[in-house]
Chains A and B, each alone.
Chain A
Amino acid sequence: MSDRSAFWAAVLVLPALSLPAQAQQDPIVVYNAQHETLAQEWATAFTEETGIPVIIRQGADVEVGNQIVQEGANSPADVFLTENSPAMVLVDTAGLFAPLPPDILDQVPAQFRPVDGNWIGIAARSTVFAYNTEQLAPAELPQSLAELAEPEWQGRWAASPSGADFQAIVAAYLALEGEDATLSWLQGMAQNALVVRGNRAAMAAANSGEVDGALIYHYYWFGDQAGTGESSANTALHYFGKQDPGAFISISGGGVLASSTHKDEAMAFLRFITGPAGQAVLREGTSFEYAVGSGEASNPALPPLLELDAPEIDPSRLDTARAAALLTQAGLF
């Protein structure tokens, strides 16, 4: 009996302990905070072209960025991809990125990458106000983000402040308007907004008419419209424009870790996703994120990126830690 039990214990436990050894030979490890589907499409296409296997470790922006900082020189990661740039800045400030060669940097216009050239934009998303078309006429739409903090908007809009997406918007507000204005805007928001978790929940609240509108990123709306439409059918998008903080365009970033032991392969991966084949995945896939490569058009369903009249912000100025502290101070989480 005991021999048999020991045998079964071994059968159950040993395979699990040997799991990491099953990995293929010399893959690159991508710490990915971008949507997994998108990263997987990039990885599959890249492996097909180069034969280099890619292992994806999934997480959220700031969490993974902090994890890399904690791992420091011992990080198993070769590449880091994010949804928003603040997490890139976090890792860059810790000095953990390898400088990118000019041939990679040249694939993306200067406005979509930081001045230091240690990481690069891989995609972009625009802030939008998704509003319930039965409850709001176009004339009643807010003209600026600041307006949403005013008393007449109390209880009428939804947002998901706990996500990295919204924190990037707050960081942009901070960079454009300064600390005092940002805090008082957040305090107004704490009074006015229906706080939910996740952009889908915010959009769904606008869709069901619980609130008039939701401050989200554009691709949630396009993705839902292309799918079941169950969270967006009664809504339309309002772009703030006029270089308002509400027209903020957030850059998804990619970088190669200085500690990477497969730097050439990691660089090749970044070259691939910022190049024509990688940007075509954005244009033709279902992510509905904007392409940022030079001369690369985005998904035809989207209004052109350059016509959104976004405010100009150096992405390396987005301070997500300060934004999180202000959100905490305003009691939003």
Chain B
Amino acid sequence: MSATTGPGTAGVRYGLAQWGTGKSVMLAAALVTGLLSLLPLGFVLYVAVSSGWDTIQALVLRPKVAELLGNTLVLLALVLPSSAVLAVAMAWLVERTDLPFARLWSWLAVAPLALPAFVHSYAWSAFAPRFHGLWAAVLISLLAYLPFIYLPVAAQMRRLDPALEDMARSMGKRPLAVFVLVVLPQLRLAILGGALLIGLHLLAEYGLFVLTRFDTFATAIVDQFQAVYNGPSANLLGGVLVLLCVALLGIEARLRGTERYARLGSGAARQSQRRALGRWRWPALAFLLIFALLSLAVPLGTLARWLGSGGLAIWKLEFILPALAQTALLALSGAALTTLAALPVAWLAVRAPGRLQKLLEAGHAYVGALPGVIIALALVSVTVRVALPLYQTMATLLLAYVLMFLPRALVGLRTSIAQAPLELERTAQSLGRTPLMAIWHTTVRLAAPGALASAAMAALGITTELTATLMLAPNGTRTLAMRFWSYTSELDLAAAAPYALLMIVLSIPLVVLLQMQADHFEQA
């Protein structure tokens, strides 16, 4: 056989060998970001080891920490299931029923994402000053984060193949049974992915819970940080948070299971029949209207009141314009870098899944559950001690953004890479492209819309990021979030309002991008 090797097979062999090179380059790149992402964990471990068991015992095994653990767990236990139920209900109403103005409701369901979580809670604390504690934290978390589940669930619901449901119905199943037995399982990956994202946010979020007066690990870490800076306590609490995140990832992986729900064949699925709501139309409308009122009208109304009471005097353009420009610049460049850094990890997850790749992915995910303070503390300590020229530079700040928001970028990127056929990469190589160029010209190009959505997710996070930016940014950097917090801490709510408004304005195109991308989204 070897004697008959023709040019064609030689080309394929050449391609396969080159594909191996492409993989090793991607693996090397993923290892670099993976090692960088271990930096905060390494720092937390270093602090834990150097403070010794007695200190750990005194600082971690105390009643306050048990209270924080209880609070955080209760929060997760209440928010995650209820947001899944609400998101599925909303997505079903919007996508699968004859609800009037379905497109409008679909946009209204996603719109709260454009409002920073702390703006939600600031508005609520002004709107209902006596509403706080656990239930306020649960409600505002739901309002602020529901779109994270709604987006993928609605997208998935839209492209479900109705043939499966028809079959179940033809076998005599009642509608509810069809939904539970056929529809829900197909939504599982979308629900779990969204819930994991919300879970990470709940663990890491500071601003939302401060204002609702609900103590979580993140708020306690910031307290410790502000009181004793780089003491062992903040970092040890961060260590507990890492463990919580690992548990969350484990639960998600277990629930995700190994079953696959791929559509058979590539033919277009028939558009499924929209169900007539009948007399349920009004309650359904009321449900969506209440959500829109709570998640949009309350914060925007409060903001409008502050803007109104401030008049023209609060539009100090000499401060506002630079903050707007710097925030936009940081969000754009941070999002571009984050997406680029997520590419090798996402590519490996699709093209070469394995134990090492899973480890790399988990190594990134845990950072998403840490408050910015812990990541910034690690980077400050490392740069001050061993890399002083990098201290307070844009490079370090962008690195922090990449680490913090890579888990978000990974989600969209992975699913869109999965839709790009491997054969194209190989063909491109057999036509003489170098391995990396082949990946760049085929898979990356095809995944570009997903990459754009990933970048939008990262940019949304960066636009409202506060603590890491405060600690790492070069001198003279003043972002919208920094000014907003500065004014609100001085009680000048009117002066803070323009900054909140501009954060929303910057976020709107990102949310539009996410919603439009979700129309073409397919769960891998």
Contacts and interface: CB of A to CB of B under 8 A. Distances in A.
Interface of A: 1-2, 5, 9, 12-13, 15-20, 22-23, 27, 29, 35-37, 40, 55, 57-60, 62-63, 65-67, 70-71, 74, 76, 162-164, 167, 196-198, 200-201, 204, 207-208, 210, 220, 223-224, 227-228, 230-231, 320-321, 324, 327-328, 331, 333
B219 interface: yes
Contact of A37 (B326, B336, B482, B492): B492
Contacts of A230: 126
Leading 8 A-B pairs by shortest Cβ distance: A66-B229, A16-B333, A20-B474, A162-B223, A36-B486, A324-B227, A12-B336, A55-B476
Contacts of A5: 440
B437 A2 contact: yes
A62 B228 CA distance: 7
B135 to A, nearest CB: 15
A13 B360 CA distance: 25
Interface in B221-244: 223-230, 233
B224 A23 contact: no
B491 interface: yes
Given A58-B482, A76-B392, A197-B210, 14 more contacts: A15-B329, A16-B329, A20-B476, A29-B475, A37-B495, A58-B478, A66-B228, A70-B384, A71-B391, A197-B219, A201-B125, A208-B130, A210-B130, A223-B491
A9 B340 contact: yes
B305 to A, nearest CB: 9
Contact of B333 (A13, A59, A67, A224): A13
Given A2-B441, A70-B380, A63 B226 contact: yes
Query: Would you call the interface of chain A mostly helix, strand, loop, or mixed?
Result: helix
Contact of B220 (A2, A65, A333): A333
Interface residues of B, number: 65
B62 interface: yes
A164 to B, nearest CB: 7
14 contacts: A1-B441, A5-B440, A9-B340, A15-B329, A17-B394, A60-B226, A66-B228, A197-B219, A200-B489, A200-B491, A207-B129, A230-B126, A231-B129, A333-B64
Contact of A16 (B126, B233, B394): B394
Contacts of A70: 229-230, 380-381, 384
B271 interface: no
B388 A74 contact: yes
A198 B491 CA distance: 10
A37 B226 contact: no
B282 to A, nearest CB: 36
A220 B437 contact: no
B309 interface: yes
Q: Which of A17, A59, A63, A164 has the most CB of B within 10 A?
A: A63
B195 interface: no
Contact of B475 (A16, A35, A76, A204): A76
Given A55-B476, A162-B226, A324-B228, A67 B490 contact: no
Nearest to B229: A66
Contacts of A74: 384, 388, 391
Interface in B438-487: 440-441, 445, 470-471, 474-478, 482-483, 486-487
A15 B333 contact: yes
A23 B476 contact: yes
A163 B394 contact: no
A167 to B, nearest CB: 6
